[in-house]
Amino acid sequence: MTTNWSLFHKHAGAKPRQFFEVRLFGNAVWHATGMAETWGSDALDELASPAAAQARYQALCAEAVAGGFTLSRQADVDLDKPDLDLLAAEIRDGARNAFNSMRAAHPDQAMNAFALMSDESAMTIVPVANSEQALAEDGGGEHTLWVPQEWSFFEEGAYLDIAYRMMLPYHRDIPNEVDIDALRAWVFGACAHALRMLAEEGVFGSPAERDGVAVIFCVADGDGTDDIVEPLNTPASAARYAAFRASWH
């Protein structure tokens, strides 16, 4: 199903704080609003004709602007054909902002681990980081180094709110033909691709620094993702990860 999609935000500095979202399909207009990183409250307006629905869609977009929201994204979206490259680009941009914000908020910490975490339902993307100091305080073990659920910095998820809005229709009562396996492949694949692009940009350090840095994608409540993690790291770092995984068996 193809929908017209408009997403608006209010920001606290550069970080999305509130969202206002509108989708048009056929004779209906779906809209939602709330705080970033939440589902918010939503409603579905059934109209008498496509023209009436279009008018309602435009009125809601104008209402968002009048309420102080600014347009973040506007596009025609085919919900039956998720675009991996488009989602990966949004995750890349949001994660870059999140990791840089973590560094800026903790200038005394030497960040040496970066991750994106999702869940078995492919409903969330959480950026997480850790530092040499935090790792030392936790005992400095390989377990903590490679388990993002135990890391210390995770407060910047709002930067990924655009990507979050792209994923949520598959968990709401919005018609589409994407099953859970295809949804997982889309979200998890986009996260891995985003991390690869960030690594190529140097977001995780220079080539000389990368041997001491862990870069991870993981599913917090699901199976391991070794085939994704190892290519994200240098051979030396990947060898440490492989040794850590082998110690579990």
Closest-CA residue to 161 (of 43, 29, 12, 16) = 16
2-77 maps to which CATH number? 2.20.140.10
- 239, 244, 247, 249: CA torsion to nearest 10: -90
The DSSP line for 199-213 is: HHHTTT--TTTGGG-
> Which of 83-87, 115-119, 194-198, 222-226 bottoms out in mean pLDDT, i.e. has the lowest?
222-226
Residue 188 burial by CB count (10 A; 0-12/13-18/19+): exposed, middle or buried? buried
State yes or no: pLDDT of 1 exceeds 80: no
Ordered by start, the domain boundaries in the chain are 2-77, 84-246
Q: For 161-177, how does the pLDDT look when each residue is reduced to its tens digit (9 = 90+)? A: 999 999 999 999 888 99
Three-point CA angle 97, 94, 162, nearest 5°: 140
Q: Is the pLDDT of residue 237 over 90?
A: yes
Strand partners, 46: 28
Q: Is 232 helix (H, G, I), strand (E, B) or coil?
A: helix
Count other C-beta atoms under 10 Å from residue 196's C-beta.
Answer: 17
Please tell me the predicted confidence (pLDDT) of residue 118. Answer: 95
Task: Determine contact, residues 6/162, Cβ cutoff 8 Å.
Answer: no
Predicted local confidence at residue 224, as pLDDT: 52
Average pLDDT over residues 216-237: 82
pLDDT in tens, 109-150: 999 999 999 999 999 999 999 999 999 998 878 888 899 999
Q: Which residue has the higher pLDDT, 10 or 138?
A: 10
Query: How far is the C-alpha of 128 from the C-alpha of 101, rounded, in Å?
Result: 11
Using one digit for the tens of pLDDT, what is the confidence trace for 27-62? Answer: 999 999 999 999 999 999 999 999 999 999 999 999
Q: What is the pLDDT of residues 61-106, one digit of tens each?
A: 999 999 999 999 999 999 999 999 999 999 999 999 999 999 999 9
Total-model pTM:
0.94
